[in-house]
Structure 1
Amino acid sequence: MKTYIILLRGINVSGKNKLPMADLRTLLNDLGFKNVQTYIQSGNIILESEEGKSVVCNKIKEGIQSKFGYDVPVIARTIPEWKKAIAKYPFPIDNTKIVAFVFLNKKVYETKIDVKGINNDEYLIDNDMIYIYCQSGFGKTKLSNNLFERKLNVTATTRNYKTTIKLLELATDS
């Protein structure tokens, strides 16, 4: 049985794609996943399955589409992949409020993209991750999921430092 950290993109954001976590947990249990947990309202899930990542993602995506009518991108990582992503963060972590991890649905080969006006914000593309350091703050940065998706032809979802660390804690405590 493998433990996965699952990230949903675009639910419970600005009143769109409302998905109560209790209903989501019920769906995931009904789909046969084990030890299902959710964290906050933004589509963070920890679960166990015998199946591989792509099967897990497709099952969740199809289940949400069928039960709730939302076409929601689903990204999964194993515990070792999650730990590696955290360990490889290349920027200072002295101010965790400006640290974020962008999880991609597939590996990319680009290392730079053309982005104008990012001021002191920094990013690093590394396979299926993008690390961002937003000195201007997340409310002002141009380094967004939409930008990365458009420029790299991927699905992207971002989690801040606190959420990224908390998901690892929850996944390894179970």
Structure 2
Amino acid sequence: MMQTYISILRGINVSGKNLLKMTDLKKLYEQLSFQQVSTYIQSGNVVFVASEQKTETLAERISHQIKSTYGYDVPVLVRTIEHWQNIVANNPFAKDASKDPAFLHVTFLAAAPESNHPDAILSKAMEGEEIHITPEAVYLYCPHGYGRTKLNNTFLEARLGVSATTRNWKTTQKLLEIAQNIQQ
């Protein structure tokens, strides 16, 4: 049975490092026999269809192929469309009309956090920032901009003890839209 997946790569095309054109990334996915491959913006967002497999297996295959083709060690997270829909639906800040969606971000977690010290994490929040931690994702509201927050991906990975990658709310929603259009 075929399944629609969303994959997000961490650490490509950032500050001139691990450069990877989306056309090349799309070809790499197609070489793995994935179908209906679609990329979105330059930060390693790929929607694809594959025979149903464990998301961890798919992530390992993609990561291995990037390593063998380009020499980059790139963490890859893969989620089913249903899983992604749940993450989008459970964003507590998206339902709050007083929150500007431009300042919403989702940090996708590779696994449930090994440790969750909310006080230590909250102590790093700037005035007005809000954070909501779940086993699958960390929802952030950063009204001063993600570039200025201390609640960034590196900090959350260290505090939670898991690999993660962050996307803004617009990208998170767009990837779901692309996946839904492919699935139709």
Could you say which TM-score interval applies, normalised by the shorter chain? over 0.9
Partner of 1:140: 148
Partner of 1:60: 62
One-letter amino acid matched to 2:133: I
Shift of 1:110: 2.4
Shift of 1:99: 0.4
What TM-score do the two structures reach when normalised by structure 1? 0.95
Partner of 1:77: 79
Shift of 1:136: 2.0
> Which 4+ runs in 1 deviate beyond 3 A?
none
Q: % of aligned pairs identical?
A: 43
Partner of 1:7: 8
Partner of 2:47: 46
Shift of 1:32: 1.1
Partner of 2:162: 154
What TM-score do the two structures reach when normalised by structure 2? 0.90
Where 2:147 maps in the other structure, the secondary structure is: coil
Shift of 1:149: 0.7
Partner of 1:96: 101
Q: How many residues align?
A: 174
CA distance in 2, matches of 1:69, 1:153: 25
RMSD (Å), alpha carbons = 1.3
Corresponding residue to 1:105 among 97, 105, 110: 110
Alpha carbons 1:49, 1:56 under 8 Å: kept: no
CA distance in 2, matches of 1:137, 1:62: 33
